[in-house]
Amino acid sequence: MKTKTTVLVGALIAASIIGIVLMSGCIDEKTVETPKQVATETPKPEVTPVKEEAYKTVTDMRGKEVKIPKDPKRVVAISEGMVDQIMVAFGIEDRMVGYGACNKIKDTPDFSEYLVINESDPYRGTWHIGAVLYPKMRELPYLGTPTKGINYEQLADLNPDIIIMRARDYDKNEGEKKTIATIEKLGFPLIIINRPNHYDKPDVSTIYKEIEVLGEVFDKQEKAEELIDFLDGKVTFVKERTKDIPEDEKRKVLYFGLSISARKKGGVGNVRGIDSIESVFIEDIINAKNAYRGTGSVIMSAEQVLALNPDVIVLPTSYYFHPPREIYAEACENIREVKAIREKRVGSLPAVGCRSERLDFAMTLMIEAKHIYPERFEDIDLNEFVHNYYKDVFGVSDDKVEELKLAQRLRWLEIIE
């Protein structure tokens, strides 16, 4: 129950920022739902005095020392699902009072218009794993996304003990940079954790670092270490299975997004270069080769895909979700002679909304490895692997595991039977 002081502070904070001007930034209405936003020119709000011994200092992934409550109870999680998943794994998901993400949590529409084939995804639930694991998350205030804009008035009214933001690239992205500065100006403790692609050389170890930092924030260091050990065990398992593959036998893999926006721009899909975390997984862990040797995310023509002629194609989430049967449809007939398509070596990856790695990344890694080197993972039953993975990471029931499988479209994407 809120005290009178807390209510008064919340009211003062809200009142202090009502006139703020919205950050600039263009939002695609089809893909991003952003709440009403308010100005950033606001005085620092009053904060109720708390005894010094009730605080601790945590160093976040900026290398910044942040003074936070020793036991934060009111948490705003601004990420694409990573923070809320970790909080579920720690057993403290009920501390969330608000969230930010690329979209507000909602059930997916019938999006057959976005698919190459005339068939829609039969599942109508959310892709947001945090909301499946913690259904009350749907009822929490949605604050927006740091690159496009946060509703600072609503954020202040929540009066959080701490805000945790998973950053993409605050060194270069002006939207993120402004969001960080404004939150800190409001006076709330802000912990930043970095996505792997924040770094010039992305690496799976930065995901472990995120878990480690949040373990310290919530005094869950032992649980964080167990979680890191579990995930690293899955990564090491894949590495060990593929480490002896000679250079000339490594399969060329095209990480190929069948995005409708790519087709509208004259291409057949988009690819990720060797500077992406997806390429790191392919090359450093699975021991295959990224067929595209460039950098960045690039829209490709049919001629370019034919020239790459990959041995294997994997279909990630790219403007919604894509089963293997899409690539054999009429819309992709101009790349039909690609080796991977001729030899039926096309596989899908689980639904990953907003293209962001989360605690399910090692599960996706195993699925990808089995697509690329099925002969080396013949003993792995993906249905059983996925089932045990969810239970081990999140400690959920068998019924909840089935909900998670639906949310990640594992059957519809032909990943499990």
Q: Which DSSP symbol is given to 140? A: S
pLDDT at 362: 96
**N-terminal to C-terminal alpha carbon distance within the chain:** 47
pLDDT at 111: 62
Work out whether strand 162-167 and strand 190-194 pair parallel, antiparallel, or are unpaired.
parallel
What is the rounded CA–CA span in Å between residue 308 and residue 81?
34
Given a cut of 60, is residue 26 above it in pLDDT?
no
The region of weakest confidence among 21-30, 63-72, 136-145, 349-358 is: 21-30
What is the rounded CA–CA span in Å between residue 14 and residue 6?
12
Whether 341 and 334 have beta carbons less than 8 Å apart is answered as no
What is the rounded CA–CA span in Å between residue 231 and residue 215?
15
Residue 11's pLDDT band (cuts 50, 70, 90): very low
Residue 113's pLDDT band (cuts 50, 70, 90): low
Q: Name the residue with higher pLDDT: 293 or 39.
A: 293
The region of weakest confidence among 9-23, 270-284, 303-317 is: 9-23
Q: Model confidence over 61-106: pLDDT tens digits?
A: 999 999 999 999 999 999 989 999 999 999 999 999 999 998 899 9
Residue 24's pLDDT band (cuts 50, 70, 90): very low
pLDDT at 5: 42
Report the phi/psi class of residue 369: left, alpha or beta, with left for phi > 0 and alpha for psi in -120 to 50. alpha
Q: What are phi and psi of 370, to 5 degrees?
A: -70, -30
Residue 200's pLDDT band (cuts 50, 70, 90): confident
Instruction: Return the percentage of the chain with pLDDT > 70, whole number.
Output: 86
pLDDT at 201: 85
385-405 mean pLDDT = 97
Amino acid at 44: K
pLDDT at 47: 52
Q: Which domains does the chain show, CATH number per domain? A: 4-104+142-219 (3.40.50.1980), 231-407 (3.40.50.1980)
Tell me what percent of the chain is helix, strand and coil, each rounded to the nearest 5: 45, 15, 45
What is the rounded CA–CA span in Å between residue 280 and residue 365?
11
Q: What mean pLDDT is reported for the chain?
A: 87
What is the rounded CA–CA span in Å between residue 167 and residue 192?
7
Whether 193 and 208 have beta carbons less than 8 Å apart is answered as no
Q: Name the residue with higher pLDDT: 240 or 36.
A: 240
What is the rounded CA–CA span in Å between residue 371 and residue 314?
8
What 3 state SS string does 195-225 have? CHHHCCCCCCHHHHHHHHHHHHHCCCHHHHH
What is the rounded CA–CA span in Å between residue 297 and residue 410?
25
Element (H, E) at 59: strand 55-59
pLDDT at 112: 59
What is the rounded CA–CA span in Å between residue 161 and residue 143?
16
Amino acid at 216: E
Q: What pairs with residue 267 in β-bridges?
A: none
pLDDT at 329: 85
Element (H, E) at 366: helix 361-372
